[in-house]
Amino acid sequence: MAPSWLLRLGRLNLTNYYTFRDAPLAEISGSLGDLGTLLPLMIALARQDSIDLGSTLVFSGIFNILTGLIFGIPLPVQPMKALASAAISRPEDSSILVVTAAGQLVALAVLFLSITGLLRFAVTAVPVPVVKGIQLGAGLSLVIGAGTSLLQPLHWIHPVLDNRVWATVAFLALVGTQQMKRFPYALCFFVLAVAFAFVAVAKHGDALPGVHLWRPEFVIPSWFVKSPAVFMAIGQLPLTTLNSIIAVSALANDLLPDLPTPSVTSMGLSVALMNLTGSWFGAMPVCHGAGGLAAQFRFGARSGSSVIFLGIIKILLGLFFGKSLISLLAHYPNSILGIMVLAAGLELAKVGYSLNKGAPDLWETSVEQDNDGLEGWERRQRGLTDDERLERWTVMLMTAGALLAFRNDAVGFAAGMLCHWSFALSDRFAKWRESRRSEFSTERDPLLR
């Protein structure tokens, strides 16, 4: 008899096959949903030689295929955002040796947390309102980023192929197709955006993409103690742990309850192995992410077949075009990219609505008897008082608010946990005071003894 893990893998990939067969355009469209995170950071890092674009496309494509096959959900492979932002802000200190070293340091820390069980402990120790707050804050930060970085700088008319008019068209199309679950929105506008990018490249006289065969070059990362890589890794680790592992596992359960939810340990091992392999060839440090999963789900992806398709395309582009794609990707219109990022942010932020109805910590198992007196197990939701609902909303909003205010997941997490503990301490103190009052009343009234 085949091992249970092999049977599970077979079932997942049957689901991948049938899902892609029944709705290929939706899966392909969904695979493009995370471009808003991938393209800007990947292009910026490649242009300053902090990563090798060919290696990044090849290895991230391999990782896409493996995650699709193993997990069976549209799990994204996206840049480590905090690390990439730090590298872009200080290009003089962010050589390919430093950036790959930072990715490996984060990977080693995540590997340690995974094999020691500390990630599993974190899931039980971190309350659901804090996790939801991280997801809400990450979603709103994507919306704000889309507005400030991509859409706000646009003009109404110029340039002709990347302006607010096209952003308005993309937004109206997004709103108009809300109820059309199978409409391949991302695919349609991706094709349009690539066509615009080709025109812009030709207009500016830049080099068009040409055959540039990938030649892997071995890289020895810079690990010494005072390397900027250490500080980049420290800044990235909380984001990877909270948003790329804990939050993405919770989000997968919310969005795709009919598919097996990846455990946080498997998420951690996946992040660690990705960055302990491709980094030796100059590939960009990558992780999974709640925002990317929400984006791919929003644009139609419902199985691992979407990211398997994306992985194949990435590998082909990396093997045959590599660095020649930089000029084309650099002209990808922000008007369309910004609307895709905005939609992804809203999809991620929407998970907050289930905080007080449908959240995992509200389900409980009880023993019920049927009409014949036979006992059976039944799962039902625990009822909440108005005070409990308010407390949970406050914790979630405190987490999201602090994350947005300081643009730091760790600060948002700390604020949410402090808020949660303060409510817990207040509730405990109220119960103690009530018990003391009851004891005092009993001592004073002999009839109650």
β-pair type (78-79, 363-369) = unpaired
Residue 244: which of 350, 109, 101 has the closest Cα? 109
Rounded Cα distance, 392 and 398, in Å: 10
User: Cβ contacts of residue 146 below 8 Å, gap of 6+?
Assistant: 36, 338, 339, 341, 342, 345
70 to 11, 255, 262, 409: CA distances (angstroms):
11, 18, 9, 28
Rounded Cα distance, 422 and 295, in Å: 34
266 bridge partner residues: none
Rounded Cα distance, 161 and 202, in Å: 13
Rg (C-alpha) for the chain, rounded Å, is: 24
- DSSP letter string over 89-130? H-GGG--HHHHHHHHHHHHHHHHHHHHTTHHHHHHHHS-HHH
Token pair, residue 215, equals 């030649």
Q: What amino acid occupies position 260?
A: P
pTM: 0.81
Rounded Cα distance, 1 and 448, in Å: 67
Q: Is the dihedral of CA 350, 420, 145, 262 positive or negative?
A: negative
Spatial contact of 296 and 74, defined as CB atoms under 8 Å apart: yes
- DSSP letter string over 371-388? TTS-EEEEEEEPP--HHH
The torsion angles phi and psi of 375, rounded to 5 degrees, stand at: -90, 145
pLDDT at 99: 93
Q: What is the pLDDT along the chain (449 residues), one digit of tens a residue?
A: 567 778 888 899 999 999 999 999 999 999 988 887 788 888 888 888 899 999 999 999 999 999 999 999 999 999 888 888 788 777 888 889 999 999 999 999 999 999 999 888 887 888 889 888 888 888 888 888 888 888 999 999 889 899 999 999 999 998 998 887 778 888 888 899 999 999 999 888 888 888 888 999 999 888 776 678 888 888 788 878 887 888 888 889 888 988 888 999 999 999 999 999 999 999 999 999 888 898 899 888 999 999 999 999 999 999 999 888 988 888 889 999 889 888 878 887 887 887 888 777 776 644 455 555 545 455 567 778 888 889 999 999 999 999 889 877 788 889 999 999 999 898 888 778 877 777 666 666 555 45
